[in-house]
């Protein structure tokens, strides 16, 4: 499942590597958080939703997160600039993104995760499609869906290019496994002059279908808990999720498997990163048991890291100590504040 999720996260980059778009001057009067909520409403029925205020992430959050590591910030900036030079697309010009995901269990510890992503920003979608068709060198086909056209591209060229650009120290075997999980096709369609939808073909079809099953009202409502957040998420938790966590405690496994929904948000204040995660169980008693278990683990973590000497371990100790758990009815909440100084310590250690 982990490799599949990583492959899905590469989908956006693969699409951009196939497309050399002209950037237009189209702007929306809506704020980015409001746009993201609007885009989420366009998704079909999915198991999970993530919305991103992309403009704020690139302009404010990313520079703060990487402030203590100029080399890493330079690498990220060069990567974005290289993508712009290669494709004509500057991902910093996306205002808002809404991504939907479906999860299908294939085997023990293996879920097939399929995405559909809707992105809106300062781009000319018609130019993007035209350039993508040219760059694909014929490796695409078209499918009519009502009054729209879906363009289905092969990401093979982008994958081959990515393999050639791997650093010498990269783990080739891990890279091959990741590439194996990459989608064989990427479907793209234009929603309006500055909005595109792309991802797994069936989900893209559903996105533009006039008879589609709408996105869950329950998930949509959970996204609105903090509309100003940079990232908001809400999703159904598949059964048997405890399989992915090495557990010796059967009670903890039962508590994890009792979780039905997870939702929350990530935001940045002037000098801190703020994380809120809420787990919703089927029954109040399950939430109480989960809450008690998490508080017990917090006590163990404090004892284990209380005398830590390394700067990074001291950060982890502060995070564990500062984690705030609370319970209400059938929900367990985690609130975590990570100061800029602690972020700097961890980021500076990345080589």
In this structure, the answer to whether residues 210 and 244 fall within a common structural domain is no
Q: What is the pLDDT of residue 243?
A: 67
Q: What is the pLDDT of residue 1?
A: 47
In this structure, the answer to whether residues 318 and 191 fall within a common structural domain is no
248 domain-assigned: yes
231-236 vs 148-153, strand pairing mode: unpaired
In this structure, the answer to whether residues 168 and 269 fall within a common structural domain is no
94 domain-assigned: yes
Q: Long-range CB contacts (< 8 A, 24+ apart) of 7-13? A: 7/178, 7/179, 7/181, 7/182, 7/183, 8/101, 8/113, 8/114, 8/115, 8/183, 10/178, 10/182, 11/115, 11/117, 11/182, 11/183, 11/186, 11/198, 11/199, 12/91, 12/117, 12/119, 13/83, 13/158
Which residue range is the domain that position 207 belongs to?
A: 2-215
In this structure, the answer to whether residues 211 and 241 fall within a common structural domain is no
Which of 203, 228, 264 lies closest to 43, judged by CA? 203
In this structure, the answer to whether residues 256 and 145 fall within a common structural domain is no
282 domain-assigned: yes
In this structure, the answer to whether residues 183 and 253 fall within a common structural domain is no
144 domain-assigned: yes
Pick from 164, 184, 215: which residue ends a domain? 215
In this structure, the answer to whether residues 157 and 66 fall within a common structural domain is yes
Taking residues 334-351, report their average pLDDT: 93
The total of structural domains in the chain comes to: 2
231 domain-assigned: no
Pick from 183, 215, 247: which residue ends a domain? 215
In this structure, the answer to whether residues 108 and 208 fall within a common structural domain is yes
163 domain-assigned: yes
In this structure, the answer to whether residues 257 and 192 fall within a common structural domain is no
Q: How confident is the model at residue 308 (pLDDT cuts 50, 70, 90)?
A: confident
Residues 6+ apart with CB under 8 A from 233: 48, 49, 50, 51, 223, 262, 263, 264, 265
What pLDDT, in 10s, does the model give residues 239-271? 766 666 665 566 777 888 889 999 999 999 888
229 domain-assigned: no
Residue 137: φ, ψ to 5°: 55, 45
What pLDDT, in 10s, does the model give residues 50-108? 999 998 999 889 999 999 999 999 988 888 887 666 555 677 878 999 999 998 876 66
116 domain-assigned: yes
In this structure, the answer to whether residues 185 and 250 fall within a common structural domain is no
In this structure, the answer to whether residues 191 and 54 fall within a common structural domain is yes
In this structure, the answer to whether residues 199 and 260 fall within a common structural domain is no
Contact 342, 316 (CB under 8 A): no
Within a 13 Å sphere around the CA of 78, how many CA atoms are in the beta-carbon half?
6
């Amino acid at each position: 499942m982990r490799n599949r999720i990583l492959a899905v996260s590469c989908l956006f980059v693969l699409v951009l590597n196939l497309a050399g778009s002209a950037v237009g001057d189209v702007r929306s009067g809506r704020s980015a958080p409001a746009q993201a909520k609007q885009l989420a409403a366009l998704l079909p029925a999915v198991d999970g939703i993530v919305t991103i205020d992309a403009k704020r992430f690139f302009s404010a959050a990313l520079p703060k997160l990487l402030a203590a590591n100029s080399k890493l910030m330079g690498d990220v900036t060069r990567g974005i600039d290289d993508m712009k030079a290669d494709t004509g697309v500057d991902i910093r010009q996306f205002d808002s993104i809404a991504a939907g995901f479906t999860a299908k269990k294939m085997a023990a510890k293996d879920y097939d995760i399929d995405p559909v992503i809707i992105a809106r920003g300062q781009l000319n979608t018609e130019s993007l499609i035209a350039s993508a068709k040219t760059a694909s060198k014929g490796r695409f086909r078209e499918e009519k869906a009502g009054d729209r056209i879906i363009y289905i591209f092969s990401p093979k060229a982008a994958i081959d290019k990515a393999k050639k650009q791997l650093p010498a120290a990269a783990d080739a075997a891990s890279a091959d496994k990741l590439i194996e999980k990459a989608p064989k096709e990427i479907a793209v369609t234009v929603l309006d002059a500055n909005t595109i939808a792309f991802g797994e073909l069936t989900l893209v079809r559903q996105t533009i279908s006039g008879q589609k099953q709408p996105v869950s009202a329950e998930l949509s409502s959970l996204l609105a808990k903090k509309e100003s957040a940079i990232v908001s998420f809400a999703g159904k938790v598949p059964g048997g999720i405890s399989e992915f966590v090495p557990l010796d405690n059967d009670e903890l496994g039962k508590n994890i498997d009792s979780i039905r929904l997870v939702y929350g948000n990530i935001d940045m204040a002037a000098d801190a990163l703020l994380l809120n995660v809420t787990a919703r169980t089927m029954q109040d008693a399950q939430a109480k048991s989960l809450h008690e278990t998490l508080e017990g683990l917090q006590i163990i973590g404090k004892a284990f890291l209380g005398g830590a000497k390394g700067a990074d371990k001291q950060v982890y100790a502060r995070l564990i100590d500062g984690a705030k758990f609370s319970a209400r009815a059938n929900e367990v909440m985690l609130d975590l504040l990570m100061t800029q100084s602690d972020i700097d310590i961890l980021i500076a250690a990345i080589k």
